[in-house]
Structure 1
Amino acid sequence: MPRYLSKIQALIFLTVFIIAASCNGQVKKDLPKEKVIESKTILDDRPKLKKAQSKNQGNNVHCSIQDKDGNLWFATTGDGVFKYDGKSFIQFTTANGLNSNTVWSILQDKSSNIWIGTQAGVCLYDGKKFTEILIPLRKNLSRNTVKNTHDVFNIMQDRSGKLWFATIDGVYTYNGKTFTPFIVKEDGPGFLSSNHNVEYILEDKAGNIWFGGRNNEGVYRYDGKSITNLKINEQKEANWAWPALQDKQGNIWFSNWNGAYRYDGKSFIKLGGLSTGLVSPVTTIIEDKKGNLWFAGGNRGICRYDGKTFTCFTTNDGLIKNDVWSILEDRTGNLWIGTRNTGLSRFDGKSFVSFSE
């Protein structure tokens, strides 16, 4: 009897071994084709956003979004785009169909497509593949030797579903079928004359579209019929601005190389308390779920403003770098901070965790 039981036990062990080996083989067979970035650090098992394409320390984690499924997307100016599902990073570059590894903007539209604005134009990601979308040039403009000259700096979808693209060749709208140049007084002193440059677009709660960029005099507001040019200040102290957001009180916030400005519907007020010198750039502004405003840029790290006082956090507090270009608040309230040298940190309100090399 004991000898008989030993044979049964051996048979059971052999069967379990074969099943386990079969499952392991199946897992290896079904690995995704995308490049999955896993941590190689023994003491730190967190996934890492790695600089695989470019070693240029001037590259940024330039912008970021959280999609409808909860995935985080980080667009960089040298390493393409990273998608983070909470467990690992998947990197998308030109090897995966992206038209450039230098990415300026990213947006998920109402149909869940991911639009990516790059140095070489626009790519559309439908969840499976990238498709390059060609924006036709306006009349009297010709392409240079670079493939698809459109640097696409910003992408915005308005309440009607129309997409707006701020490019190096002007502003274009897209209704789902065709691109249309957005031109007002093209040959006069108004919007989109030859010396105008649009880098950011914002729609406010009233449906007005705001435009801003360097080399402009002030900012521009479009009410659906006409353009109004508004001056940031009379001293021409960096008299251009990027529209950033409209806060819960209805104020619209702008930033430029000299700080941050609040527009209350009547006038622009420069926010004090952020200066770090003669030139004090603000590169990004967000409002968190609690109503705090966060400012970054000018090598100041990130600064939280509760309406009365500032609290700033730097590398002394654990931030990976002080030169910040993007801040994203995820659904759980964590802040994801993108910096120079493709740096990425997460801040839970108490401490920072690094997610980059």
Structure 2
Amino acid sequence: MYQYLTIFILIFVWNIPGKCQSVSDGKLKGDPFVYEDWQTYTTESTHGQLINDHILFLEADGDSLWIGTEGGLILYYNDTWQNWTEKNGLPWNVVIGIAKDNKTGELWLALFGDGIVRFSGGYFEHFTQMNSGLLNDVVYGLDIEGDNVWVATTAGISRYNQVTGEWAVYNEKHAPMEEVWTYNVDATPEKVFFAVWGGGILEWDVKTESWQEYLDPDGEMEIDLYRDDGLVHVITTAASYVDDVLWASTYFGLSRYDGRNWRGYMDHDSGLPSNFINFTLARSATSSYNCTDKGLGVLVDYNTDTWVSYTRETENTETWSAKVITGNTVIKKVQTNLDLANHFTICAEFMGNDIWIGTGHGLARGKGTGFYPGLK
């Protein structure tokens, strides 16, 4: 009898949500904003102006959008396109990361397989492992923090100070890195976060110049053994830090951390179209946009666990639908005019109230006319 009572208590306690954990009863607490009106762009539909529609990264610059593709760098503004490739000065066509330095106005580019570039005054200054302190030419991303350019490479992290010209490098010898394959970086004035493939999330504190490592505490690669104990998985793909809250995407789900409590999401218990998340972009402490291999999963309101999931119903469906979901319960479905044939979403970017998404075959802009955060 005592044994069964103990088991019952353990199960009961196990299923009590934490005080700060979002809870859903499957009922809609209000209406989320749904992006119904979209404009899509492919190489074909733009008659070649979008020189390559395998979109790798998006960076808003006021009313303009910088686009990194497999075939070059593109600047979009007011339905006009300007392109840079190896034919007109770009050292390498595969642009996988872009960061605008708002202090200098310069653009920094991550080139997958050929280092990084500073683009200033129409001139490309090229940094590689042969002429700089860059750890490796296989670069996955970069971002700006103060005077520093932080670079995520396949061999670790490099930091370039634009004022002093000094380089610093961080790998398993200089940082608590379980692995060195650094997949993405998100920099803020106070903290810099790195998604490390197989090594979780690394946090750099700018003030103390110290590292903090975040892993999946249960150590299991196949399953998330203990829910909300930390990262859902150590194979991370991106980090996004807004309003003192960290969002981390993995190939096994999404994690949120507010400095005290973790919350994990997977496709079976949330509005995520898939656990395979390529990128996460936080809009606030309570909302994030998640690019998956099966569409875009938007957590609109953390407190009520309300989602909008943008997907194609089938491979033959012409337009995407938006499912409004609380927890894992579909409340309603809204048809959109988004007609991208490819739903493998790779990147996303905000431009005011609009949302841009890049896929394996095309670019789309969701028009945010009448946008509001959370629920109404």
Q: For structure 1, which segment, 112-121 or 230-239, has the greater mean C-alpha deviation from structure 2 after superposition?
A: 230-239
Q: Identity over the aligned pairs, expressed in percent?
A: 18
Higher helix share: 1
Q: For structure 1, which segment, 314-323 or 163-172, has the greater mean C-alpha deviation from structure 2 after superposition?
A: 314-323
| Structure 2 counterparts to residues 55-74 of structure 1, below 5 A | 60-68=54-62, 70-74=63-67
Following superposition, the deviation at residue 156 of structure 1 comes to 1.4
Q: 2:191 aligns to what?
A: 208
| Structure 2 counterparts to residues 34-183 of structure 1, below 5 A | 49-51=49-51, 60-68=54-62, 70-76=63-69, 78-109=70-101, 110-119=103-112, 120-135=114-129, 136=131, 150-158=137-145, 160-176=146-162, 177-183=164-170
The 2-side partners of 1:284 and 1:100 are apart by: 23
Query: Secondary structure of 1:182's partner?
Result: strand
- In 2, are the aligned partners of 1:51 and 1:79 still within 8 Å (CA)? yes
Structure 1 pair 319/79, CA: closer, same or farther in 2 (3 Å)?
Answer: same
Instruction: Supply the AA of the counterpart residue of 2:176.
Output: F
The 2-side partners of 1:138 and 1:125 are apart by: 18
Query: Secondary structure of 2:343's partner?
Result: coil
Structure 1 pair 347/94, CA: closer, same or farther in 2 (3 Å)?
Answer: same
Following superposition, the deviation at residue 111 of structure 1 comes to 0.4
Q: 1:15 aligns to what?
A: none
Query: How does the TM-score come out when normalised to structure 2?
Result: 0.66
Q: 2:309 aligns to what?
A: 312
Structure 1 pair 90/290, CA: closer, same or farther in 2 (3 Å)?
Answer: farther
Instruction: Supply the AA of the counterpart residue of 1:311.
Output: V
Following superposition, the deviation at residue 49 of structure 1 comes to 4.8
- In 1, are the aligned partners of 2:247 and 2:282 still within 8 Å (CA)? no
The 1-side partners of 2:291 and 2:187 are apart by: 22
Structure 1 pair 168/209, CA: closer, same or farther in 2 (3 Å)?
Answer: same
Q: 1:345 aligns to what?
A: 364
Q: 1:354 aligns to what?
A: none
Structure 1 pair 334/276, CA: closer, same or farther in 2 (3 Å)?
Answer: closer
* 1:305-352 alpha-carbon deviations (Å, 9 max, x no partner): 222211112243324121111111113x111110002x10111148xx
Structure number with greater Rg is 1
- In 2, are the aligned partners of 1:137 and 1:169 still within 8 Å (CA)? no
Structure 1 pair 40/112, CA: closer, same or farther in 2 (3 Å)?
Answer: closer
Higher strand share: 2
Structure with more contact order per residue of length (Cα contacts < 8 Å, sep ≥ 6): 2
The 2-side partners of 1:72 and 1:229 are apart by: 33
The 2-side partners of 1:255 and 1:180 are apart by: 28
Instruction: Supply the AA of the counterpart residue of 2:201.
Output: V
1:325 aligns with 2:325: no
Structure 1 pair 273/197, CA: closer, same or farther in 2 (3 Å)?
Answer: same
- In 2, are the aligned partners of 1:97 and 1:131 still within 8 Å (CA)? no
Instruction: Supply the AA of the counterpart residue of 2:360.
Output: R
Unaligned stretches of 5+ residues in structure 1: 1-37, 53-58, 142-148, 351-357
- In 1, are the aligned partners of 2:156 and 2:171 still within 8 Å (CA)? no
Query: How does the TM-score come out when normalised to structure 1?
Result: 0.70
- In 1, are the aligned partners of 2:237 and 2:279 still within 8 Å (CA)? no
* 1:53-99 alpha-carbon deviations (Å, 9 max, x no partner): xxxxxx7311111225x3211101x2111101213111111111111
The 1-side partners of 2:296 and 2:115 are apart by: 31
Instruction: Supply the AA of the counterpart residue of 2:193.
Output: W
Instruction: Supply the AA of the counterpart residue of 1:269.
Output: R
The 2-side partners of 1:282 and 1:104 are apart by: 17
Following superposition, the deviation at residue 201 of structure 1 comes to 2.1
- In 1, are the aligned partners of 2:171 and 2:180 still within 8 Å (CA)? no
Unaligned stretches of 5+ residues in structure 2: 1-40, 222-232, 313-318, 321-337, 370-376
The 1-side partners of 2:43 and 2:108 are apart by: 31
Q: 1:6 aligns to what?
A: none
Query: Secondary structure of 2:87's partner?
Result: helix
* 1:125-166 alpha-carbon deviations (Å, 9 max, x no partner): 114222222345669x8xxxxxxx5122111111x3211111
Structure 1 pair 234/204, CA: closer, same or farther in 2 (3 Å)?
Answer: farther
Following superposition, the deviation at residue 304 of structure 1 comes to 4.5
Query: Secondary structure of 2:295's partner?
Result: coil
- In 2, are the aligned partners of 1:49 and 1:82 still within 8 Å (CA)? no
